Amino acid sequence: MKADINTGDLVHIPAGVYRMKIAENDDQYKIPFSANILREPHVGIFKEIVDHTTCVVVFHDGEWIVEKDYVYSKMEQQEVQHARAY
């Protein structure tokens, strides 16, 4: 993830990335509620950084924690595709 991704930015998460859903109950602080591996690429909305390795991304099925290394800005993705066209 580049440092220029801000809250509300559209982001791309590639297939094969592990994601965790955190329990929303305050009594269950930071305990994974559900986890899965994406079988296909997803687009989401960047929400916030959790720590130095993870962040929260909002997908169609809720908020999930994802490793920051696998979060790409959709603008960055479009720039790469545009550059390849030439």
| Cα–Cα distance measured from residue 58 to residue 68, given in angstroms and rounded to the nearest whole number | 14
pLDDT digit string, tens, across residues 27-80 = 555 666 788 999 999 999 999 999 999 999 999 999 999 999 999 998 755 554
Q: Is it the case that residue 1 has pLDDT exceeding 90?
A: no
What strands lie across the sheet with 54-59, from one edge to the other? 32-37, 18-22, 62-67, 54-59, 42-49, 10-13, 72-73
pLDDT band at residue 17 using 50, 70 and 90 as cut-offs: very high
The predicted structure's pLDDT at residue 28: 53
Instruction: Show the domains of the chain with their CATH numbers.
Output: 10-84 (2.30.30.40)
Where in the chain does DSSP place strands (E)? Answer: 10-13, 18-22, 32-37, 42-49, 54-59, 62-67, 72-73
